[in-house]
Every structure is written in structure tokens, then in C-alpha cells.
Structure 1
Amino acid sequence: MMKKLTLICLILIAISFFGSGVAVESLELAKKQIELFKKEFRIEPREMVFNVTVGSEDGKLTIFGEVSEPKLKESLLERLRTALQVSFEDKIKLLPDESVGEKIFAVVNVDVVNLMDAPRRTLQKNAVTQARMGDILKLFKRDGDWYLVQMEDSYIGWIDGSKIVSMSEIELKEYLSSPFVLIVSKFAQLYSEMDPKSVVEAKLVQGTTLPCVEVKGEWLKLRLPDQREFFVRSSDAQLFESRHEVFATQKGTEYIIEIAKQHLGLPYLWAGTTSYGFDCSGFTQFCFKMAGYFLRRDADMQYEQGEPVLDRKDLKMGDLVFFQTYKAGPSHVGIYIGNMKYIHSGSKGVAINSFDPNDPDYSADLDRKYIGARRIIQR
């Protein structure tokens, strides 16, 4: 009798969990297909949102979740239709969701801001990357005063809504309609007037891009995302006809190394991407971007770019050199500068080390941990 009751209970639990109209085989097949899809399309959660699960609702097989790329959702649903051969309910939410509203873009409105691994976190250890004033973000969803956003390099994180100015597509187009400046000095002081005595507290970091509304001799008048206007010295910035042109010209390896050396001695900063402090891949990404080359955000991502350099004796200036440090695979990266030397942002900050045991800058530890190089600039 007890065995029969136990069996009945198990059946009832299975029905309530899976739904009376959904076969366990269909659920398991759907789960397997989703996992295969993620591998085939190389879903990278640091660069896209793809949270998809399968279950039962009202007795029907249902696909739940949220996805940031429309084409990925379409491809997944087509895969499932072909593989399952049964009908299912599509409840995958395409981001941005309704919590964002019509203003699905934003522009950073502070000199530097951390993007975090979850909303309402403020410790540096929870930062995943940083954005500069003027950086453009896609808004995916909102949690209170925080937003899940995607940066222009595709990296994803949570940002405090008080640090950004939200814009509709029309408003963003208007924002982009002016000439733009690129801050080329490590730091550019802001002034309220065209007067050296009118210093304001804020500074802009190297790599910042903002609209320029007026040029007057040695002064450039900039408009911030919140419409405030300030001046910078023209010696601290470079003027372009449009924002699109700012990083459109590739300047070569010498310029990359010149930018990198400007930051020698700068302390290491977890998730750092600016002149206040860099992590290793934030440093390489920044130096290359200033010269018109675009790297992905993290060391293991950068290891997938360019062409492999199979022998260390074949290294050329500007190659990325990779090391296996605190975890398996490429977890540290630097820039080869010639003569067996490389520059990187490590635990001691931005420094130059060498692969040559006879060089005073030789690092035996990093030499042991070297795992390969990638050539981004073909020449």
C-alpha cells in the first residue's frame, strides 16, 4: 500500500512540475538544444544577454528568458521548432524591456564611472569595467535607479542611473550632430570661462569624446551630455568633424607604444580603463583604441583576436603578449615594444619588463607564465 501511495505521489509531483501535457523527453531535448546552441554560437555573457530556460506553463512546453540580440532569438526558436517537432510557447523577452521606456540609449555624464556586476554595488572588487564621460550605452533593463547596459565595445554591466543621461534615438542623433573633440592629454582641466583662473573641479581623462560647440583660439567650448558647457585648452584635445571620425584613422604601433609609455608608474586598478588606473586588458584595449584599433575587453577575449605568433623570436612591436597567471588560460596581457621588452599594467602598475634573463627588467615569474602572442596589426 505504501509503495502504491509513494508511486502516486511521484506521478503527481511529476505532473505538477512538468505539466500534464508536456513530455519529459521534450523538456530534456529542449534543454539540450539550448546548450548546444550556446556552444555553437559562442554565447559570451560578458558581451550579450542570453538567459534562456525551458519549463512548463498551463500544460504547455514554454521557453522563458531574456535575450539582447534579436537574431539570436530568431535562430534559437527556429532551431527548437526543427528539433522538437512539437509546439511550444515563446516567452523570451527581447531586451531592452519595458522598464527602460522609449529612451533606450544613454551617455555617461561623469568623468569616469564603474560598471558593476550587479545593481547597487559600489566596491571596486565588484566593478567589471569603466566608462568615460561621453561614452554611449545601450540600456537593456532597469532595477530601481540602476540600469543594465552595454558599452560600445559590447561589454555589459550595471550602472548607477545618476551617472548617465538617457536619450531616445532621435535625441542621440541630435547629440551626435556636432563636431567632436578627443581628449589627448592624460587629463584635461575644465574651465567655466576662457580664462585660466576659471578652473572648475572636474577634469576629463584621456580618450574622452564630447561635442564641440565653439572654437576660439586656444580654447574649445564643449557641451556635456546634460547640456552644461565648459572650456578646455585646445592643446589638450583634437578636433574632428564628427564623432565617427575620432578613432577612424589607424596610427600604427609607434603611437600605441607612445600612449602606453605615458602611463608608466600608474598604479594598477581592478576593472580600470582610464588614466586614473588600468587593469591589464583595460590598458591594452585603451592604448590600441587611441590608435584606431579595437580590442575586446578582457585578456582571454583579446587572445581570440588577430593572428597567433607561434615563436617568441618572431615577435614584432605592437604584438599582444599573454600570460597564464591567477587562472587557467590567458589572464594577463601586455604590449611587446621590441628588444625582448613589453609594457603592461600588472600588480606593480604600468611597467616595462623583459623576456631576456640578462636584462635588469627581466621577470622570471612572467617568463614562466608566458603562453603566447597575437598580432593585431598586420604589416
Structure 2
Amino acid sequence: MKYAIACTSVIPLRPEPSDKSEMLTQVLFGELVQIYKYAGNWASIKNVTDGYLGWIDKKTLIQLTEKQFKKLKCSDKTFILPDLISYATDNNNCKYLLSAGSNLPKYNKKDLSFVIGNKKFNLTNTPLKLGRNKRENICNIAHSFLNCTYLWGGKNPFGIDCSGLSQIAYKIAGINIPRDASKQVEKGTPITFLNESQPGDLAFFDNEEGQIIHVGIILTNNTIIHSSGKVRIDKIDHEGIFNKEIQRYSHKLRVIKSILG
């Protein structure tokens, strides 16, 4: 087993070792990966953050020793970037674009520095400061993605899907949940009635076959934020999401889950 850390902003993870293969999801800057094997320029990996498997361009990774990997995996000094977009510079003054949810290992808030491998980086701006209320943080983070376009497999402000939005919002708030809606629904405690839900709870929606196909984050006043065409806020009731633009329900409610308890 080999180990590495992502050193590029947003990296496509694919089911096959080819640029023509569809994008399943994305690996963000600073996320740890386990490497199973190589095929040409490609590495078969598992993203440690959510366990997702796939192929990634090996040029986007910095190799780690097992000792470095284990130390970073257990570290409490990894900062999760809350800002939608930030920049960092390395030792050679090369600029890196970072998106929300990026991992910044060995973060020092005094000089805004962090370290990946043998490289030291410095943020060019002071990150947003989150409050102590996790539910408020989740909702505020999701709000920052408002009107970002929908992208299958996307996890960044230039394209994000429904479960990517919920995963990133929760990750920045300090809670790791699975990548896909069909796996996220397995977590948490069911909420019987919509009026018993709280902001930050997750609402899941199914198709005619009963498969979970969509997820959104409950807000206040019977509204929900979700990625469908774009990240948007719509009304929700016991039937599902009502889209006022098309004057009909766009998604059928299956269950609401409280991840936070």
C-alpha cells in the first residue's frame, strides 16, 4: 500500500484510468488518499475522507511515507477551508486556487501557513471564522454556494451536485458524511414530521422505484437548499420540493434525517 496527498485544487475521480471516463466525484486539495496500483499516468486510489474509490491522475498527488500518512490522518491540526474560494502561495511564490472544503495540514493560524509533504504554503487571505453552532454553520456554508451551477460529481463552487453540497457543508462544519445521497440516507435519526425538523437536517427524495436520488439541507420557514440545475432555495412540505418557477413538485420526499442528533 502506498500513500499520498492531493496537491491540486479539484481533481476528477474516474471509474477507469482514462480522461474519457466519466467523473464520479472530485478529490479536493489536501485530501489524503491510499494508492492501490498504477496504470500509466493513473493511480487507483481510495479517498480517505469518504472512502470513495476510483482512478486519479498521479501527477496531482504528492507521495507520503506511511508514517507521514498516519500522522496526518490522526492530526487535529488540519484546517478545513470554509471560504468558497481562496488562494495560497508556496515557497516559490507559485499561486494555488483552493475551494471550500480543502484540507490544510499543519495549519498555523498566526501566519496562515500549512504544509504538504516538504512544501510550505501560505494563504493570501484570512479565512472566514465559523461560529460554534454546527447547524448554523452548515446552513451558512450551503448558502455560500447559492446559484452555483449543478455538475454531476462536482464538489466545488464552479459545479456541485446535490450530495456534494451536503457533504461539503457538513465537512466544513466538522462532520464527515458519505459522498452519495444513497449512502448519506443510511446515517442519522429519522424525523417523523417536517415540522419537527431543524435547520441543517438532511431531506432525502426518491424516484418511482424507491431509490434515493436527491438530497437537500433543511432551512427555516419550510425551505430547503439543494442543487438541482443550480444551488437554489425552494419550499418543502410533506409531499416534497415545490418549484415555484415550474409550479409543480420537482422531488418526492422520502425521509428527513437528523445527523446531529
**Pairwise TM-score range, normalised by the shorter structure:** 0.7 to 0.9
Contact 1:250-1:291 at 8 Å conserved across structures: no
> Match for residue 210 of structure 1?
104
Q: How many Å separate the matches in 2 of 1:352 and 1:333?
A: 13
The answer to whether the 8 Å contact 1:355/1:362 transfers is: no
Q: How does 1:313-324 map to 2 (within 5 A)?
A: 313-324=195-206
Which of 230, 236, 253 is the matching residue for 2:127? Answer: 236
Which structure has the larger Rg? 1
Query: Which position in structure 1 is the counterpart of 2:6?
Result: 108
- Amino acid across the alignment from 2:3: F
CA pair 338-178 structure 1, distance change in 2 beyond 3 A: closer
CA drift at 1:275: 2.6
Structure 2 residue aligned with 1:169: 66
Q: Among the aligned pairs, what percent are the same residue? A: 27
Q: Residue 156 of structure 1 is aligned with which of 45, 48, 53?
A: 53
What is the rounded CA distance, in whole Å, between the counterparts of 1:338 and 1:361 in structure 2?
20
TM-score, scaled to structure 2: 0.84
- 1:179 to partner: Cα distance: 4.5
Post-superposition offset of 1:329: 1.0
Amino acid at match of 1:135: E
**Greater relative contact order (Cα 8 A, min sep 6): structure 1 or 2?**
2
| 2:23 pairs with 1:127 | yes
Matched, 1:220 2:112: yes
2:7–2:60 CA contact under 8 A, matched in 1: yes
- Counterparts of 1:359 and 1:204, CA distance in 2: 33
Does residue 364 of structure 1 match 2:260? no
CA distance in 2, matches of 1:375, 1:210: 28
Q: Secondary structure at the match of 1:166?
A: strand
Query: Partners in 2 of 1:358 and 1:222 — Cα distance?
Result: 44
Provide the rounded CA distance (Å) in 1 between the counterparts of 2:197 and 2:231: 21
Q: How many residues align?
A: 256
1:352 counterpart = 2:233:
yes
Shift of 1:192: 5.5
Q: Which runs of 5+ in 1 are unaligned?
A: 1-95, 97-103, 239-248
| Deviating more after overlay: 168-177 vs 146-155 | 168-177
**Coordinate RMSD, CA, aligned:** 3.1
For residue 336 of structure 1, report the CA deviation from its aligned partner: 0.6
Taking the aligned partners of 1:213 and 1:290, their CA distance within structure 2 comes to 15
Larger relative helix fraction = 1
